[in-house]
A and B are shown apart, each in its own frame.
Chain A
Amino acid sequence: MKRRLHDLGLGIRFALGGGREGWARTLLTAVGVGLGVALLLGAASVPRLVDERADRIHDRQPFSPGSVKNTGDLMASLLYATADTEYRDDTIGGKVLRPANADPVLPPGLTSIPAPGTMAVSPALRALLDSPEGELLRPRLPYEITQTIGDAGLVEPSELYYYAGSATLSADTGASSAAGFGNIGEVQPLDPMLVVLVILICVVLLMPVAIFIATAVRFGSERRDRRLAALRLVGADARTTRWIAGGEALAGAVLGLAVGTLLFLGGAEVLGPLKLWSFGFFPGDLRPVPLLALLVAVAVPALAVVVTLAALRSVVIEPLGVARGGRTRRRRLWWRLALPGIGVVLLFLSQNPGVRAAPLSVMPIGIAVQLMDNFATITIATGATLVLTGLITLLPWLVEAVVGRLRGGSLSWQLAVRRLQLSSGTAARTVSGITVAVAGSVALQMYSVAIHDDFDKVTGVDASHAQYTVRTDHPDAKLAQRMTESFRKTPGVQRAIGSVSGYVTPPDAVTAEDMRAVAQLTLGDCATLSELARIDSCKDGDTFVVHPSDDAELAAWVDRTARPGKPVNTADGESGAPQRLWTLPASARTVTARPDPKGKEQYGIFVTPDAIDVSLLSSGAETSAVLTVDQRVPDAAEHIRNTAAELSPQLRVNTVRTVERDQQYAGIQTGLQAASLATLGLIAASMLVSQLEQLRERRRLLAALVAFGTRRATLARSVLWQTAVPVTLGMGLAVAGGLALGALMLRIIGKTVTDWWLFLPLSGAGAAVIFAVSLLSLPALWRMMRPDGLHTE
């Protein structure tokens, strides 16, 4: 043992004092390992980052005086209303505030409640408002900027957020009262489907990084082996040389840890505020979980030594030269099939994990805990890992089998194929990272797209008729009227129908078996109502019973509530709240509905403003306008939002097309995309390094080929094939494996595969890697092909 340590130490000394070449190799390894380490540290920081984000969101969440969290018996001291808006592709968060007493609570990041007519903005929003791009946003936020929201009040540096002061805000206009900020709110259980997704992501992203680090440790190993042979000549035994090599790798890995830490810290500073893939963070929030960081610091050097020792097992270093273990026997298939086979069986037997409630805020740790006591998740994780690992073991066999059968073709093809036949193992090793990454990504994409529907709430409405709805959660007949008027004058709006709608029920008691009848009550002026039903004459004070145009059953259902001359209950039907009765005048005429701009028929009870006191309507009623918009008018959406903001800051504008993406899901999806790209980049980098190394070793040969009059294009194509063949095989295997894995995972959660072609963009990314690597190695190839290569004697 002491000997081994001594040898390791010797290797470290060689790595650090081995002249220029030794240094170059050590640095190359260090940079490679460093990239991997930076990614690992990034991954290790995700739990903290998610926590910090969640904390930031919760910290500015107001809680009401009566809420469970209000342990201090705080009184309402602040009225607020959410006034989020969208501007082009960005979401702008905002609240309108009004102090309810002399000493109101402050949201985080504010030094005082903005006075009426003024607002506090985030730095990013300030920049947007100051820039020409913000021109259409300014009328919507017509407040004077008097304050900047501090970092404590923002989720990410680039967040667009504001707090506006108001003198008129009241509970009647939809405001809520807050006793304080920092509502933990309801603990949102992490959806079991997401748990599976997160497990997959961890497996998929971390495996290629591990593979990359293992590859980086082997950078420049051929030259090192020759140096080791020289050591054998002066009397070192084979084991000693292996451990010396291990020491060299260790030195590179430890240096890599340092490089990785620097890259990580620098990366956090640079990337945090950039808001890549709509996800930004405060650099200070990106701190690895100490335990995981420690794991990285220990595992990476250990991996380096183990990989080196293992790699050298197949290399015989003799005093007079290096012999690579010529693999004469063919690779066997059966045991390579065993790993993915077991994985498939495990996944096949797995049940949908009944995951208990876990707060999103502690997501990955929460998952770790669940993993410990949830058998289903363990089998899924194991199964998925086995399938993906199985791909790595299958790949060398596949490459050998396929490449061994390739024949003929053009010269460049022949050169590439022969090269691959001679070293199919190396080729397979290089692309194994890409295979796992792509297979995992394919499975993840399939999985996430299939569960997409659950998280994306698409309003299934014909978007050619109406593109926008504007609404607020309280009934206000005047507002409805003003909306109609204002929006008709807004550029781009072709049609606008404003109305108040709520639900009414018959006041009679219902038996347990019977279902309580319910009808929609729509309040609007005559013009509006005429748009929605075939009404020939109308004056204010009129009421109508509206039947659907061709559904007698539904019409009968409406009639159970809408009985002219009889009262209806306008309060919430089921809540047991005291009834508020309103009598439908006996004069109410029955008419048929006509499609609204959304293409939908509205039916039930239609009333004009004079016929009812709006305050009778329940709090569930809403005021809304449906707009038909000419999409060709530039920035129509912004004009509409501006009009809405002018009418009331609380009006929410929805595009019918708008996809309301669940935040949890979106976060995971975003992380997946970013990480997949990073992984592919890493793999491309390691492929490039080995490609360049190979070219440098063949400098003389390349020069000789040039002497024969070999065209550059021929060699360039050969380099391309040499990358393309293994990558294509890897991608093929990855797609097959990924589709299988994805289908199995979906089977577990009882979904069907919705789209088999999801791998296409990933294949595109793979192709991009091929071309990038080939293209980037061309300058080196050109340089090697200069006749000077012959001259170095």
Chain B
Amino acid sequence: MTPAGSLLVAQDLHKAYGPTPALDGAEFSIHPGEVVAVMGPSGSGKSTLLHCLAGIVTPDSGKILYDGRELSAMSDAERSALRRTEFGFVFQFGQLVPELTCVENVALPLRLTGVKRKEAERRSLEWMERLEVADLGNKRPGEVSGGQGQRVAVARSLVTQPRVVFADEPTGALDSLNGERVMQLLTEAARSTNAAVVLVTHEARVAAYSDREIVVRDGKSRDMMLEHSV
């Protein structure tokens, strides 16, 4: 695997929760602006791979390079800072803060980086417009539909203009129509800002929005595209 030109590279990752290995020599790489699907059956370790790549979980062994920097050599605070500024996140159930309004939820990552409230909310509204949920600004997450909530979550993941967006089953809780719309908006928005997207999914139709896929099985990864080109 050649890290040349790659934004985020993982090599030979191992991670075990207790006695069961979640990752067992997984590899990964992604270029700027690329959408890579991480596929595999449930329990295969794909979420763990995403958590490792995002610096949420430290692998037991192996190397993760982001922009040439070794992730596991960073302190927890540095990785948190990285997640605040360079990464964006979309989760399966949105994980919007229920007591904040939608626009405040979108503004949350900006505010974490110290942007003033007014400015953060203005920029958030722009992104909500792009994701066609600008009219939900003052509603609470409990008052919007699942698809709308997930779009708010996508807006939240993009508002800091991250270089990598991590999406963990972003359509898992949605019907196919809403799921497709969310995927379409997510990939379009990411492409327009040249953000890379790491997309964990077990659904092929969602994975079809990617540029290439890697398959994780039993903690090992397989990059089909790479093997074909070789």
The interface of chain A, by Cβ under 8 A from chain B, is: 408, 411, 414-415, 418-419, 421-423, 700-701, 704-711, 714, 787-788, 790-791, 793
Contact = CB atoms under 8 A, between A and B. Distances in A.
Given A408-B117, A701-B95, A787-B51, A709 B100 contact: no
Contact of B97 (A408, A701, A787): A701
Contacts of B95: 700-701, 704-705
Given A707-B89, A708-B83, A709-B80, A422 B104 contact: no
A789 to B, nearest CB: 10
Contact of A418 (B42, B81, B91, B99): B99
B123 interface: no
A707 B80 CA distance: 8
Contacts of A790: 47, 51, 56, 91
Contacts of B79: 709
B112 A710 contact: yes
Contacts of A793: 42, 47
A706 B83 CA distance: 9
B165 to A, nearest CB: 12
For chain B, which range describes its interface: under 10, 10 to 19, 20 to 34, or 35 or more residues?
Answer: 20 to 34
B99 A708 contact: no
In this complex, the member of A704, A709, A788 whose beta carbon has the largest number of chain B beta carbons within 10 angstroms is A709
A745 to B, nearest CB: 41
Q: Which 10 A-B pairs have the closest CB atoms?
A: A709-B84, A709-B83, A704-B95, A418-B99, A709-B80, A787-B56, A422-B99, A419-B99, A411-B111, A707-B89
A407 to B, nearest CB: 9
A700 B97 CA distance: 11
A419 B98 CA distance: 8
Interface of B: 17, 42, 47-48, 51, 54, 56-57, 77, 79-85, 87, 89, 91, 93, 95, 97-101, 104, 108-109, 111-112, 117, 140, 166
B56 to A, nearest CB: 4
A421 B99 contact: yes
A689 to B, nearest CB: 20
Contacts of B117: 408, 414
A228 B111 CA distance: 40
Given A418-B100, A701-B95, A701-B97, A708 B48 contact: no
B3 to A, nearest CB: 24
B84 A708 contact: yes
Nearest to B110: A411
A418 B141 CA distance: 12
Question: Which of A418, A701, A708, A710 counts the most chain B CB atoms within 10 A?
Answer: A708
Contact of B91 (A423, A704, A714): A704
Contact of B112 (A422, A700, A709): A709
* A705, A788, A790 — most chain B CB neighbours (10 Å): A790
A708 B104 contact: no
Contact of B108 (A408, A411, A419, A422): A411
Nearest to B85: A709
Contacts of A419: 99
B80 A791 contact: no
Given A418-B100, A418-B104, A421-B99, A709 B91 contact: no
Contacts of B80: 706, 709-711
Centre residue among B51, B99, B108 by max chain A CB count within 10 A: B99
Nearest to A407: B117
A707 B95 CA distance: 11
Contact of B47 (A423, A714, A791): A791
A616 to B, nearest CB: 88
